[in-house]
Amino acid sequence: MRELKIMMRTLFDLVCILPAYCGFSGDVINERSFTLALAKALAPNTLLIFSLIPITKIHFSKKCTNEVLRKVKNLKVIWIPIPFYPALLYFILSSFISLLLSLLLSLIKVKVVYIRGSHLSIGMYHLRSQKKKIIVKIPSVTEDEIIGSAFEHRILKILIDVFDRHALYKADRIVTDTITFYNTLVIRRGILHASKPIILPPGIDSSIMGKIRMNTKPIANGSIRVGFIGTLYWWQGVDILCRAIALARKKKSNIHLLIIGDGPQRPFIERLCKELELPYEITGYLPHEKALSMLKMMDMLVIPSRRTSTRETKIPIKIIEAWALGIPVITTKHKVFQDYNIKDMEEVIYCEPDPYDVANKILMVINDQELMHKLQINGYKISKKFEYEHIAQKFLSELNLV
């Protein structure tokens, strides 16, 4: 109660409602790093964050909060425990939480509420005074990437469609990673928002990247470390990478597979690596800076992701991080790269999500040191466009908060 009274006396320029703030996935790391940049830009004013957290990980919340406060002092995180599985229960409960947060925010003086995910905004539109404060980031066509029973998927598809339509119709502004994704979203939902979307790409913390570049030393053991970083979902195409490396090793036997991360497909990937007799390492989930240090040790990052509505229209944060660290990137040629005019054989090597094509591209980079050097230099230059401090300043300017 005392904390609520303090909040009611404070004017917040910005309140954020996030589906996760403590975790290892690219989306979580991106939102956490972005809000840290927002807090620095808003200082000394306080940035207030409400974040869902899995009930099973509530003990991590204090540790995560302490880590955040060591970096910025003017940021307050309020945790909301909730079961994340099964997905249907999660979406129903998070919608109810959205309604409760709406009632709470009606008691607080706030200029703008930034919400990641239309399911967390569904309860926000019932108060007319709040409607013009709400901006919603829709990060994906969510139903395309949910794995579950046919019945559950059918219900979730209806729910998510309703959530997105409400946001497109009622939110003051819509935020997406790229204009390509926004156009896909509008076609899928059949609603064009009244205002132009705010484009908010993933980013990098230049200070962290600089430290990793300076402190990380390459491993000199004669092996060629080809790898992946991220959560092991089916759409990432890590199974394609495994098969590609098995093919490439017929010509370069010193290629080793390094996977930085974990996820639902780990047991399958481990079985596949053993069947293919690949030398491999899967690190499991790592703290972000430790994961970046491991990434810096790679000779190349390979992301042969499958083509889905979301993968086609979002630029992965892992690719931007690899560019910033001077790591050559091989990736599926998704439509999103056209938004940023990313050139084949200049900033990246494009591949098809097919083991034979991926294997050929891996060998091409290994055998052409001049090409490898060009990818390292040009990738680093491209990464400068994605620094969080610039993205945060542009975002706040768009909202008239700076």
Q: Which amino acid is at 315?
A: I
> Distance between CA atoms of 103 and 124, rounded to whole angstroms?
8
Q: Assign 393 a pLDDT band (cuts: 50, 70, 90).
A: very high
> Distance between CA atoms of 14 and 303, rounded to whole angstroms?
35
Q: What is the pLDDT of residue 133?
A: 86
Return the domain boundaries, the chain. 2-203+387-398, 206-386
CA distances from 74 to 132, 398, 402 (A): 25, 21, 16
> Distance between CA atoms of 254 and 181, rounded to whole angstroms?
39
Secondary element (H or E) of residue 266? helix 266-275
Phi, psi of 109 (to 5 degrees): -85, 115
Angle between helix axes 355-367 and 238-248 (nearest 10 degrees) is 60
Tokens encoding 292: 């970046």
> Distance between CA atoms of 239 and 186, rounded to whole angstroms?
32
Q: Assign 57 a pLDDT band (cuts: 50, 70, 90).
A: confident
Assign residue 237 a region: left if phi > 0, alpha if psi is -120 to 50, beta otherwise?
left
The residues, any chain, with a CB within 8 Å of residue 311's CB and separated by 6 or more, are: 235, 305, 332, 334
> Distance between CA atoms of 76 and 307, rounded to whole angstroms?
38
Q: What topology does CATH give the domain 206-386?
A: Rossmann fold (3.40.50)
The mean pLDDT value for 372-399 works out to: 93
Tokens encoding 306: 């499958």
pLDDT digits (tens, 9 = 90+) for 207-254: 889 889 887 666 656 789 999 999 999 999 999 999 999 999 999 999
pLDDT above 80 (res 7): no
Residue 116: which of 27, 11, 231 has the closest Cα? Answer: 27
pLDDT above 70 (res 81): yes
Do residues 339 and 207 touch, judged by C-beta distance below 8 A?
Answer: no
The mean pLDDT value for 196-204 works out to: 92
Determine the length of the chain: 402
Do residues 347 and 378 touch, judged by C-beta distance below 8 A?
Answer: yes
pLDDT above 60 (res 4): no
CA distances from 302 to 18, 33, 237, 306 (A): 29, 24, 10, 13
Q: What is the pLDDT of residue 347?
A: 94
Q: What is the pLDDT of residue 21?
A: 86
Q: What is the pLDDT of residue 140?
A: 87
Q: What is the pLDDT of residue 130?
A: 65
**What CATH number matches the domain at 2-203+387-398, 3.40.50.2000, 3.30.70.260, 3.30.420.40, 3.40.50.300?**
3.40.50.2000
Q: Is the dihedral of CA 153, 93, 124, 31 positive or negative?
A: negative
More confident call, 136 vs 86:
136
Provide the mean pLDDT of the chain.
Answer: 89
Q: Assign 20 a pLDDT band (cuts: 50, 70, 90).
A: confident
pLDDT digits (tens, 9 = 90+) for 87-143: 889 999 999 999 999 888 888 888 899 999 999 999 887 666 666 789 999 998 888
> Distance between CA atoms of 284 and 303, rounded to whole angstroms?
18
Residue with the two structure tokens 């309703």: 162
The mean pLDDT value for 328-338 works out to: 93
How far does Cα 340 stand from its chain's mean position?
A: 17
Q: Which amino acid is at 67?
A: E
206-386 matches 2-203+387-398 in CATH topology = yes
Q: Assign 149 a pLDDT band (cuts: 50, 70, 90).
A: confident
pLDDT digits (tens, 9 = 90+) for 164-192: 999 999 999 999 998 989 999 999 999 99
Q: What is the pLDDT of residue 9?
A: 65
> Distance between CA atoms of 114 and 19, rounded to whole angstroms?
12
Q: What is the pLDDT of residue 224?
A: 92
Please report, rounded to a whole number, the percentage of residues in the chain having pLDDT higher than 70.
94
pLDDT digits (tens, 9 = 90+) for 290-308: 999 999 999 999 999 998 8
The residues, any chain, with a CB within 8 Å of residue 157's CB and separated by 6 or more, are: 143
> Distance between CA atoms of 207 and 104, rounded to whole angstroms?
36
